[in-house]
Chains A and B, each alone.
Chain A
Amino acid sequence: MLVLIVIALLTAMGLALIRAIKGPAVYDRILASNTFSTKTVLMIAVLGFLTGEAEFYLDIALMYTLVGFIVTVAVLKVSEFGDLGQPRPDSGENRQ
């Protein structure tokens, strides 16, 4: 039964990948990559239960959760500001 869950998660990841390739705006791609990372975390957790070595797999899943969130926020910042939000040298007077 767990193999069926992995297959369903792989199908969902394929659909998200289609949206990430096809998406008209950059926000569609970011949303698709975010859901893709969530599904990857769950697939790693289920695979760890399947193989019987859940400890190692869950460590990888834990790291993947945090890295996926940081990647999403960093790509959002780059797409909105053009950089990672460093203070520019000429904008010191306009800041409130």
Chain B
Amino acid sequence: MSQALNMLSGLLLFLGTLFFLVGSIGLLRMPDVFTRMHAAGITDTIGAAAIILGLMLVAGWSTILIKRLLVLIFLMLLNPTACHSLARATVHGVRSPWQGTSKRQ
């Protein structure tokens, strides 16, 4: 049981780290602010959830588990909200999306 929990925790930690690296490369390489938002915001949410879940699995029944659960809940609530309000502010400023794909068709 403990072995299975450790393996699952390692898998989740690896997955979260992978999401973070991919999201940061996308944040650096994407051509537009909206595509950068897609790369960074979404992978931040799922990567943070995976890493905190992976740490929660090895915590045992203690107050550390509750605190990690609180961090997870706040991250899952606040990160999409911040990304959504950022997208709204970007649309409200005079920023049109990237036209590169429609030119090639």
**In the complex, how many residue pairs between chain A and chain B have their CB atoms under 8 Å apart?**
128
**A15 touching B52 in the complex, CB below 8 Å, given contacts A5-B13, A38-B75, A72-B86:** no
Please, which residue of chain B has its CB at the minimum distance from the CB of A54? B64
> What CA separation (Å) do A61 and B71 show in the bound complex?
7
Q: A11-B21, A31-B83, A59-B67 are in contact. List 4 more A-B contacts (CB 8 A).
A: A31-B40, A32-B27, A41-B71, A72-B86
| A interface SS class | helix
- With the chains together, A42 CA to B55 CA distance in Å? 10
Cβ of A42: which chain B residues have Cβ within 8 Å of it? 16, 20, 47-48, 51-52
**What residues of A have a CB within 8 angstroms of the CB of B95 in the complex?**
25, 27
Q: Is B89 an interface residue (CB 8 A)?
A: yes
